[in-house]
Amino acid sequence: MSPGIMDTLTVIPVDEIVSHEIPYVRSKIDERGHKKAWNTFWSYFSQTWMKNYAPSWWNVSEMILTYADIRSRTNNPVGSYNNLYKGCFKNGLPNPCVWLQVTKRAAVRVCEMLDQTRKNIRDPPSHLVVADPRIPADYPLDDLDE
């Protein structure tokens, strides 16, 4: 499989993922000898990323339509967040009530930032640019119009 093929799941309109995108990605994967493993993966993908998590949380096709800057802009988001989060606890291990309050505030802050970024109200945090998602040139865009 060519690099970036799985990434296209994030840039095709949400309502086309199951009908067009998954068949396209599967056509680019050599599943010979690994059919059971790939079927297990696609079952997991459908259950987890199409049902448990709203595709609008991870699919950026709407942001592309509004010309939002969607390039990945970090070299280590987990490390950065971890340092920020650790700094919220002055005495090491907090009691559960304090931990819950801090975690809730942090979650609300991140959700607000993501929402504002999606709506082009604010710019994404600037870090190292590592990816620029694109629809592959051989993707059958004509099928999307049907």
- Is the pLDDT at 5 greater than 70? The verdict is yes
With contact defined as beta carbons under 8 Å apart, do 31 and 57 qualify?
no
Instruction: Tell me how long the chain is.
Output: 146
pLDDT in tens, 83-127: 777 777 777 778 888 888 988 988 898 889 888 988 889 887 666
- Is the pLDDT at 133 greater than 80? The verdict is no
Alpha helices in the chain, H assignment, sequence order: 22-28, 35-47, 55-58, 61-65, 77-86, 96-118
Q: Where are the domains of the chain?
A: 1-71+133-146, 73-130
Query: pTM for the full model?
Result: 0.52
